[in-house]
Amino acid sequence: MTISFYKYQGTGNDFIIIDNRETMNGHFSSKEIKHLCERRFGIGADGLMLLGNAKGYDFSMKYYNADGREGSMCGNGGRCMVKFAYDLGIHRPTYKFLAVDGVHQAEIDLNGIVRLKMKDVEQVNYIGDHFVLDTGSPHYVKFISDVNRYDVVKEGQSIRNSKKYFAEGINVNFVENIDEHTIFVRTYERGVEDETYSCGTGVTASALMAAHNDTGFNQVDVSTLGGKLSVEFDRIDDNKFTNIWLSGPAEFVYKGEVGLKD
């Protein structure tokens, strides 16, 4: 079987995307997805996504981790999916699409920046020197100094595979405050089982925990290994955040065809 695919990236977080509206190739095995995402033997990506039809919405998004298993919400993946939809000719002032964690809205500005509305956060667990919260995917957030020199893979892997988180997995973010409005985030991602250049839901979780205003509107600029993003949100209290928007570039890389064994 030969399939057509597209490659997109958002601040270095890269994805294989397949237009599944007509062909309905929605039954890839975990083994096939893992193979396609392998960087030496397949196409190479942090994840694979299917764009599908959904009644009442502009499209649906189905996301698989690089390990072949269906994943939770991916923020950079969502932004790339919106740009892919635009490139396919689906043009909207405001997009409305369906993902695993519910309905999302999105916009594309004149410079090609994709702004994606994330799910509200209604609970934050404050545990010693770190925070745990769900921004569409579960995240562990720890503030440290000199994140550039930190062994993110070793420390992130240790936390992700700890007894507490091993079964369900968790994404682990190490965050450094750069100035009053800017943070630098590095993330070890479950499903990829490695550090990625950027993680949209991780950037979102880290920005929420870096909020400086007691309540009301906040904007946090975020640097990652793959580029810059920003997160805007309203802070209700220590546990509740709403009107959360993740913004940044999402870019087409290339398209091609790949064969899979029948």
Cβ contacts of 152 within 8 Å, gap of 6 or more: 174, 186, 187, 188, 195
DSSP 104-145: EEEEE-TT-EEEEEPPPB--EEEETTEEEEESSSEEEEEE-S
A 10 A CB-CB count for 253 gives 12
> Known catalytic residue: 74?
yes
A 10 A CB-CB count for 132 gives 17
Residue from 33, 37, 48, 74 carrying the catalytic annotation: 74
Residue from 51, 66, 199, 210 carrying the catalytic annotation: 199
Q: How far apart are the first and last CA of the chain?
A: 6
Contact 37, 48 (CB under 8 A): yes
Q: How far apart are CA 100 and CA 88, in angstroms?
A: 22
| Residues acting as catalytic residues | 74, 199
